[in-house]
């Protein structure tokens, strides 16, 4: 069975834009994951955690034949291919891939909580998602409305790669 899922990607170490582009390619370079939509990249200030460099973030929508935990394992495998370290909670990272939604599934498990428990408050997820899909909803509310209310919206800007 095919399910539509929304994934959020972020990077604040190394060549951030190249890492995000490679991460998307690796996520969809599997017969069970197909890219449907992709947001633009945004540059954002870190939310929580230690002092660290700015992030680049983006959101993609995929159609997947993976079950939720298999999709999670696939996302973590792509993170590991980019040398993701989990030493400090909300610390800097080469690549972070979060499952934001998996169809209409609601799951409250220590390993996987869906929809993502903090997505509805984070402009760095909500704004790119709203640009990608202006009819998107999470937790029964329009993503665009939630983005407008997010505390971190003022620190967000559309990323334009230096030429």
Catalytic hit among 16, 98, 122, 152: 98
Name the catalytic one among 4, 54, 65, 84.
Answer: 84
Annotated active-site residue in 16, 96, 122, 152? 96
The 10 Å Cβ neighbour count of residue 156 is 21
Specify whether the CB–CB gap between 93 and 20 falls below 8 A: no
- Reply yes or no on whether 84 is catalytic: yes
H-helix or E-strand spanning residue 149:
helix 143-149
162 in active site: no
Known active-site residue 96: yes
Is 98 among the catalytic positions? Answer: yes
CB atoms within 10 A of CB 63: 14
Which pairs with CB-CB distance under 8 Å and at least 24 residues apart come from 76-79? 78/23, 78/26, 78/27
Q: Which pair of tokens denotes residue 44? A: 């954002």
Q: Residue 91 and residue 102: Cα distance in Å, rounded?
A: 25
Active-site positions read: 84, 93, 96, 98
């Amino acid at each position: 069975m095919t399910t539509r899922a929304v994934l959020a990607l972020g990077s604040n170490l190394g060549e951030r834009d190249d890492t995000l582009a490679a991460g998307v390619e690796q996520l969809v370079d599997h017969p069970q994951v197909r890219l449907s939509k992709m947001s633009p990249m945004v540059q954002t200030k870190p939310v929580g955690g230690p002092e660290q460099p700015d992030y680049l973030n983006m959101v993609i929508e995929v159609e997947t034949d993976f079950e939720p935990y298999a999709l999670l394992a696939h996302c973590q495998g792509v993170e590991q291919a980019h040398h993701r370290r989990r030493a400090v909670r909300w610390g800097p990272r080469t690549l972070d891939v979060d499952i934001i939604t998996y169809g209409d599934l609601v799951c409250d498990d220590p390993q996987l909580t869906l929809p993502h428990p903090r997505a509805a408050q984070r402009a760095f997820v909500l704004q790119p998602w709203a640009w990608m899909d202006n009819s998107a909803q999470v937790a029964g509310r329009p993503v665009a409305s939630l983005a407008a209310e997010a505390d971190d919206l003022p620190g967000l800007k559309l990323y334009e790669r230096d030429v």
